[in-house]
Amino acid sequence: MTDIRDLLRKGALVARDPENLTFAPGLDQDDILVLTNEKTNRWNQPWMLYFMVALNSVGAAIQGWDQTGSNGANLSFPQEFGIADTGSTCQLDGTCAQNSWIIGAINAMPYMTIAIV
């Protein structure tokens, strides 16, 4: 981090008193202009940044939807398909541990597929 030491020092000076940029030692006019522009034009960012944020938000929503579906499905599909990993049936058969792996693999399949592709 020695290569960006000066930038970190300037950032610390600005963070200490962000309202008085002109009194921060070590800041030149270009630094003050950029920081003032950043403060007065908060939403003046590249459109690709907004696109990336929107795309990541949609991806996060889809991932949450997938997790919710997996969690909700876990309530009924193991019993429906005879692969329950809890209860007397799997304990009598001795298949609780094996069924737990099967259920885990089914839940992880979307993510394993992404890893393969």
Tens of pLDDT along 47-63? 999 999 999 999 999 88
Q: Do 34 and 51 belong to one domain?
A: no
Give the number of domains in the chain.
Answer: 2
Q: Do 62 and 15 belong to one domain?
A: no
Q: Do 34 and 54 belong to one domain?
A: no
Position 8 scores a pLDDT of 92
Dihedral sign from CA coordinates of 100, 77, 75, 92:
negative
Is it the case that residue 97 has pLDDT exceeding 80? yes
Torsion of the alpha carbons at 15, 18, 21 and 25, rounded to the nearest 10: -30
Is it the case that residue 117 has pLDDT exceeding 80? no
- What share of the chain in percent tops pLDDT 70? 100
- Domain enclosing residue 99, as ranges: 47-116
Q: Do 18 and 65 belong to one domain?
A: no
Q: Do 96 and 53 belong to one domain?
A: yes
Position 5 scores a pLDDT of 92
Is pTM, for the whole model, over 0.75? no
